[in-house]
Chains A and B, each alone.
Chain A
């Protein structure tokens, strides 16, 4: 993993071309951050400040893919030695799916605990070793996809019940990721309001029927009709 290197010049352009020279590459394949714009000062005498930028080579996608695959493989090898790991860099977070049949159960764990632990550690290792690349989302044997679908169904069912009974419904304690799915699923439903409840990483989602807001008073309605 390359580190940022700093360059100075009398203006930003000069600093950047120095960076290109140093890395022997085009401007497009550098990640550049401008630290100070520089100024020519008054009559080029007072307040003269040099421009400073920092730059590093952009990650090569193939390298990122291999790095991510290596990390995930190292973590899962003792659990599922024969699995095929696919990395999809086009998604953000990077989508990593593990194809596995025999050991899928152990790899996923109770309520997806193991797969979540692997994902968390992989992200920590990525953050440490290749800062700058995006987080990953890890799936095994399509578990998360199925899980997401299930959560959506639960959300819709609870929303219906909330509307029918006029009462507030509560979900199980869920992780932030799963709560987000519920909020997003019900966000378009105008008769429903959602809110998280509780402390710590696991919270419940409250699904509340919205009170009929802005109910017009009869006389207001009257004036509108006569207009």
Chain B
């Protein structure tokens, strides 16, 4: 579900939604959500001064509180 949230946000923001790949690596307590986008879309998911990336992390941590999990977002180049 957390993965779906990030996937929805990323796909809605980029020019190449087909190039968006999200994978979730579940750990014992923390899962890592990896987001991969096309090179030219990197700026769109990071945003000015990282604002978009920060907003995604904020909303992700709220969603993971609700799911009683911990999740971190990694944006992969």
Interface residues of chain A, those whose CB is within 8 Å of chain B, are: 71, 74-75, 77-80, 103, 106-107, 109, 113-114, 116-118, 120-121, 124-125, 128-129
Docked complex Cα distance between A109 and B2 (Å): 17
**Contact between A74 and B8 (Cβ–Cβ < 8 Å)?**
yes
Tell me, rounded to whole Å, the shortest Cβ–Cβ distance linking A113 to chain B: 6
Docked complex Cα distance between A29 and B65 (Å): 46
Which residue in chain B gives the minimum CB-CB distance to A119?
Answer: B55
**Contact between A109 and B13 (Cβ–Cβ < 8 Å)?**
no
Of residues 47 through 71 on chain B, the ones whose CB sits less than 8 Å from some CB of chain A are 47, 51-52, 54-56, 58-59, 62-63, 65-67
Prevailing SS type, chain A contact patch: helix
Q: Kindly list chain B residues whose C-beta atoms are within 8 Å of the C-beta of A125.
A: 9, 12-13
Tell me, rounded to whole Å, the shortest Cβ–Cβ distance linking B35 to chain A: 14
Q: Kindly list chain A residues whose C-beta atoms are within 8 Å of the C-beta of B76.
A: none
**Contact between A75 and B9 (Cβ–Cβ < 8 Å)?**
yes
Contacts A103-B66, A109-B62, A121-B52 supplied; 19 other A-B pairs, CB < 8 Å? A74-B5, A77-B5, A78-B1, A78-B63, A78-B67, A79-B59, A79-B63, A80-B66, A106-B62, A114-B58, A114-B62, A117-B58, A117-B59, A118-B59, A120-B52, A121-B55, A121-B56, A124-B47, A124-B52
**Contact between A117 and B8 (Cβ–Cβ < 8 Å)?**
no
Q: Kindly list chain B residues whose C-beta atoms are within 8 Å of the C-beta of A107.
A: 62
Tell me, rounded to whole Å, the shortest Cβ–Cβ distance linking A159 to chain B: 32
Tell me, rounded to whole Å, the shortest Cβ–Cβ distance linking A135 to chain B: 15
Question: Could you say which of B12, B47, B52 has the most chain A C-beta atoms within 10 Å of its C-beta?
Answer: B12
Docked complex Cα distance between A106 and B52 (Å): 19
Docked complex Cα distance between A124 and B44 (Å): 10
Q: Kindly list chain B residues whose C-beta atoms are within 8 Å of the C-beta of A106.
A: 62, 65-66
